[in-house]
Amino acid sequence: MSRKSVYVTRAIPEENIEELRKHFDVEVNPDDRALSKDELKQKLKGRHAAISLLTDTIDGEVLDAAGPQLRIVANYAVGFNNFDVAGATQRNVVLTNTPGVLDDATATHTITLLLATARRIAESDKFVCDGKWQGWAPMFFVALDVERKNLGIAGLGRSGKAVAKRARGFDMNIIYSDVKRDPDFEKAFGATYVDKDTLIRESDFLTMHVPLTDETRHYIGAKELKAMKKTAVLINASRGPVVDEIALVQALKNGEIWGAGLDVFEDEPKLASGLIDLPNVVVVPHIASATPQTRIAMGEIAVNNIIKVLNGRVPDTCVNPEVLKSVAAQ
């Protein structure tokens, strides 16, 4: 019997690829770039499984081009807004993601962005590297205190809770908004549940942890930015489109908020016009989970999901569980 075929749309840790190759024929995109839609359709044709990234649009057109033998597309990410979930479900294709293993890395990265923005690290680093520093001065690069300030958490998932855990080291006051209250979290962290408007208005530092849905797209827009404190800092390491990037640029230019730290963007890798010219923003290229341990763990979930589905078993994670009834029948 011929071995089943798996395509990996971008290089992931070699440990993960080696494990896949023990079970299947595997081809990995040799180029360090996202594939075009036409390339993706061509590469997935005849495959039984694929490991995809958020940059890969997996819709009905791509799934039809792949063929009816395709059983699973495993996202190498927690998010799955690149998936046409309904289209895949209609075609009995299992879709999976990699939740749980990114929380610590993402939370640490969020706090790193918060501190870098508050203390003007990127701005002062550039100042020194440009040869402009002539000596110490009392009011030189005066920045923001973090200790005992209000940390607002928008979306209390695993990463939001992990950020709160780290913020305790700075004696920050935790306020949060979510679709439901978490009394255990409130008790453990002395946190206060608030509505969105209060969160926006009272936060000194606002960190984003909401998933990207129709309801959360532009969760932070011009209205919300105007309602924030002028000394507030916005941090986003969740999904780019939850912040209206054009509105954010204007708010930063106009001094409506003090600064922003961004790991994700609305139309990656493009940035809103004028964003990188602003001194009060720290931008990094979507690297919140970029540690060896985290990236290998993400790959392990994706690989194990493929192995299980192609052997008629239920995957560890699934974003369209309606299709699982068909897995065992394959």
| Cα–Cα distance measured from residue 162 to residue 100, given in angstroms and rounded to the nearest whole number | 11
Residue 191 near residue 164 (C-beta atoms within 8 A)? yes
Encoding tokens for residue 115?
Answer: 């501190």
> Annotated catalytic, 27?
no
As a whole number of angstroms, the distance between CA 41 and CA 43 comes to 6
- Give me the sign of the Cα torsion angle 83, 213, 178, 229: positive
The answer to whether the CB of 151 falls within 8 A of the CB of 207 is yes
Query: In whole angstroms, what is the distance from residue 244 CA to residue 237 CA?
Result: 14
How many CB atoms neighbour CB 265 within 10 A? 20
Q: Decide if 287 contacts 263 (C-beta within 8 A).
A: yes
CA distance readout (Å), 77 to 12, 33, 81, 102, 294: 12, 16, 10, 9, 11
Is 268 one of the annotated active-site residues of the chain?
yes
Spell out a b/e string for 192-218, using b for 16 or more CB atoms within 10 Å of the CB, else e. ebbeeeebbebbbbbbbbbebeeebbb
CA-wise closest residue to 246 among 279, 221, 215? 221
Q: How many CA atoms lie within 13 A of 80 on its CB side?
A: 22
- Of 218, 268, 300, 313, the active-site residue reads 268
Quick one: which of 281, 290, 283 has its CA closest to 253? 281
The reply to whether 48 belongs to the active site is no
Instruction: Catalytic residue, from 10, 201, 286, 313: name it.
Output: 286
Q: What is the dihedral of CA 117, 119, 125, 127, to 10 degrees?
A: 100
Set 239, 256, 266, 295: catalytic member = 239
Query: Active-site positions?
Result: 239, 268, 286
